[in-house]
Amino acid sequence: MTAVPAVLLAGVVAVGVAPGFAEVVAHSVNETGSAGVFTSVHWTPAGVLLGLVSTLLAGVLALLAVTRPEPFAAPDRALWLRRLQSGHVGDYVAWVLVGTTVLGALTLPDMLGG
């Protein structure tokens, strides 16, 4: 169950740390066909700063949610929404399919229009 997140995390660390690995990934993405869009890999000070700030903010929010769960609890008016997701694997699959269908339906007019 933890193999996929571990492999993705290792890949992210490798792209950020290993010299030249990000260029190899960008080259392979460009080679496999990205509909004519070519990626260039470079770090900017603003990008690094936003990455650090968002990581720090995510860590602080996660720490607050673990130590003080009361402010982050769902209000009573959202209980019907919490009942739609029971935690079973089938629920996750169903909601992924619903989300994919909604996104497909939203992009369909642009795809048909050309």
Taking only the tens place, the pLDDT of each residue in 37-95 is: 665 667 778 888 888 899 899 999 989 888 887 877 767 777 787 788 788 888 889 99
What length does the chain have? 114
Taking only the tens place, the pLDDT of each residue in 100-112 is: 999 999 988 887 8
How many CB atoms are located within 10 Å of the residue 101 CB?
10
pTM (whole model) above 0.85: no
Give one DSSP letter per residue of 47-105, joined into a string: HHHHHHHHHHHHHHHHHHHHH--GGGSPPGGGHHHHHT--S-HHHHHHHHHHHHHHHHH
Separation CA 15–CA 9 (nearest Å): 10
Separation CA 43–CA 95 (nearest Å): 35
Amino acid at 103: L
Domain boundaries, the chain: 13-42, 43-73, 76-114
Tell which phi-psi region holds residue 48, choosing left (phi > 0), alpha (psi between -120 and 50) or beta. alpha
